[in-house]
Amino acid sequence: MKSKIGLYSLITAITGFVLAEILIHVGLLEGVGWRVLATGFEAATVGALADWFAVSALFYEIPIPYIRRHTNIIVKNRDKLTESIVEMVTTKWLSPEIIQEKLQGVEMTKYILEMLDKPRNLDKTLMMFRKVILKLSEGLDDPKMARFIQNMLHDQLKDFEIAEPLGKWLEETVAEQKHQQVVSMVIGEVEKSLRTPETRQVVFEKLKLVLEEYRKLDWVKMSAIWVGKRTGGIDLDVLTEQLIEVALVMAREIENDSNHPVRQKLDGYFIEFAYNLRIGDRKSVRYIQDLKDQLVLNVGASHIIQSILTKLQSTLASQLENDQTELMMMVKDGVYKYLNQIRNDAELQVNIDNWLKDKITYMINELHPHIGALVRDSLGRLDDKEIMTQIKDKVGDDLQYIRLNGAVVGFLVGITIALVRLFSGF
């Protein structure tokens, strides 16, 4: 009913005017009062029609010669209207000065604390945190991420001088006998390697090659080798097994005896190498540098990094599955502790407020030109019909009341004029 009130006021004014004139003309209504009323309806009709035309001219083209070029005002002046709206938004409503002035009196930290004091809001914040981290972790197992980290490590370690601190660490480690466990582990791995078929095949081939070279030295050695093979005195399989067994026995002796001569020899090599690193021996430093580059840049390192990232992604996914996991409980405890710390520290609240306001001010100053562009682009995407529809949706009721006001004011003015004429004798 409200959106049609302008139309109803116009119909009422016209109906009243026509009926009054007809009834007066046929003599059914007589007297000065009815003429005054008819004049009021006449003026109301004029006022309602004038305001109907004015309102319609805003949105539509009225096909009346000469007058038509001053109708359809919104569509014809949409560019001017757009720029006026942009100017009003950027210089009046959302100017940097006004926004910064409003921010000065806002205690942002207290507002955030009050909001997070409600368990539901804190749970929503943590849920958002879970979703963001989970989304970010989806690409961790991408090979490109592994290569990125590998290249980043290489760039970070490229100029990092590791030789001198590594040399000092090695000297301290050997002096305190902390390296013995590593040596035992290496010897254990050597034992495992000696027992493999691949190692046996290598030893067998080497023995075969040595015997062949020995046979070529002279005819006596050639004869001895020939006789040994013919009589079974030289059996490469047996020799291979015996050599491997000797190596295993020696490895066990070295592993079980921390004072073994081989271990002492290794200690000497460690100490010498550590000393060379510490004093900056070029050959030793170059060796460490090359080893560092090879460890970081080789394909195996990339696979290791990707494997670590894949496991990390899986772990994060399981730990972010709900609020009751170890990670989320730890995060929640940390958030509670930090919130309590902020709540009990007025100076910290002021510092956080100042930091937030500085960041918001910076963003406003940096992004303010984009506000006008955003408003302009948003209006530019609308066609003429959409613009008129949106304006009608927002101010249509007020425009209807303008038409009603035209009819009411016209009626009152008409009554006033009729009374003035009556009492003045015109």
Query: Model confidence over 305-321: pLDDT tens digits?
Result: 777 778 887 888 888 77
Write 97-102 long-range contacts (CB < 8 A, 24+).
99/360, 99/364, 100/361, 100/364
What is the predicted pLDDT for the residue at 94?
67
Among 417, 411, 414, 419, smallest CA distance to 48 is for 411
How far, in Å, CA of 302 to CA of 97, rounded?
52
How far, in Å, CA of 292 to CA of 159, rounded?
11
Evaluate the CA torsion angle 228, 233, 235, 241 in order and state its sign: negative
The DSSP output letter for 67 is G
What is the predicted pLDDT for the residue at 298?
59
How far, in Å, CA of 38 to CA of 320, rounded?
80
The DSSP output letter for 234 is -
What is the predicted pLDDT for the residue at 296?
56
- Spell out, as residue ranges, where the chain has pLDDT lower than 50: 1-2
Residue whose pair of structure tokens reads 């502790």 in the numeric block? 337
**Coil, strand, or helix at residue 140?**
coil
Length of the chain: 426
| Maximum C-alpha span of the chain | 163
3-state helix, strand, coil in the chain (%, to 5): 85, 0, 15
How far, in Å, CA of 50 to CA of 188, rounded?
105
Which residues have C-beta within 8 Å of that of residue 363, sequence separation ≥ 6? none
Q: What torsion, rounded to 10 degrees, do the Cα atoms 397, 403, 407, 413 define? A: 110
